[in-house]
A and B are shown apart, each in its own frame.
Chain A
Amino acid sequence: SSELTQDPAVSVALGQTVRITCQGDSLRTHYASWYQQKPGQAPIIVMYGKDNRASGIPDRFSVSSSGNTGSLTIAGAQAEDEADYYCSSRDSSGKYWVFGGGTKLTVL
């Protein structure tokens, strides 16, 4: 099991707002980075650091953090946002990197 916990699946109606969460002790002291992966493709980075959006990522993507939980929010989800989303950060020792188990986002 991963040291970063994500809900396996989340759904959102087209145009609505959805939040994908990532929980782990390390997130109290380290930011999460977020990746989007579509079937058969390599992941692409979406967000990193406190609130940095990767190049080419629409501004409907944002992040927040509270306690041991990091969140990726998509405001006004589009059909093309349907994908698997992974968070990543330090493990509980602070020495290594880990990924969350991933969240499959369905846009209805």
Chain B
Amino acid sequence: QVQLQQWGAGLLKPSETLSLTCAVYGGSFSGYFWNWIRQPPGKGLEWIGEINHSGFTNYNPSLKSRVTISVDTSKNQFSLRLTSVTAADTAVYYCARGFGWYSFWGQGTLVTVSS
């Protein structure tokens, strides 16, 4: 069974950089796309971006200038960096596997941006 386990800092100050990592256990790492999706408190889901095992990336244009998704195939992990965070970036961040549909999700990490 595929499991995604994610971690990272949960409290940031404005202008800091958000950093999260997602480890994939079970199943194949190559041949899939790996995604970050977020959900502000009480609101809907927002796709942040995707990466494949070769490092091909695709980002939400509304976040593209601040987002970097990277992959470490030796560890079956992928990571999210979001720079210059503001209160608007406060959300539960999820990692997920899929290309257009997301079959497996991480447990979610609440990231709060507050001074």
Q: Which residues of A contact B (CB under 8 A)?
A: 2, 30, 33, 35, 42-45, 48-49, 54, 86, 88-90, 95-102
Count chain B CB atoms within 10 A of each CB in A49, A54, A88, A102 and give the residue with the most: A88
Q: A42-B94, A95-B58 are in contact. Are A33 and B101 (CB under 8 A)?
A: yes
CB contacts (< 8 Å) of B37 on chain A: these are 99
Q: A33-B100, A88-B100, A90-B100 are in contact. Are A44 and B47 (CB under 8 A)?
A: no
Q: A42-B94, A42-B107, A42-B108 are in contact. Are A99 and B101 (CB under 8 A)?
A: no
CB contacts (< 8 Å) of B60 on chain A: these are 96
CB contacts (< 8 Å) of B61 on chain A: these are 96
Shortest C-beta distance, B62 to chain A (Å), equals 9
Shortest C-beta distance, B99 to chain A (Å), equals 9
Contact across chains for A100 and B44 when beta carbons are under 8 A apart: yes
**Interface footprint category on B:** 20 to 34
- B45's partner among A30, A54, A89, A99 (CB-CB below 8 A) is A99
- B47's partner among A49, A54, A99, A101 (CB-CB below 8 A) is A99
- A43's partner among B45, B46, B50, B58 (CB-CB below 8 A) is B45
Give 10 nearest A-B pairs by CB, closest first: A33-B101, A48-B101, A99-B45, A42-B105, A97-B47, A102-B44, A101-B44, A42-B108, A45-B103, A86-B45
**Interface assignment of B102: CB less than 8 Å from any CB of chain A:** yes
Contact across chains for A33 and B44 when beta carbons are under 8 A apart: no
Q: A35-B102, A54-B103, A90-B100 are in contact. Are A96 and B47 (CB under 8 A)?
A: yes
For chain B, residues 47 to 89, give those with C-beta under 8 angstroms from any C-beta of chain A: 47, 50, 58, 60-61
**Interface assignment of B106: CB less than 8 Å from any CB of chain A:** yes
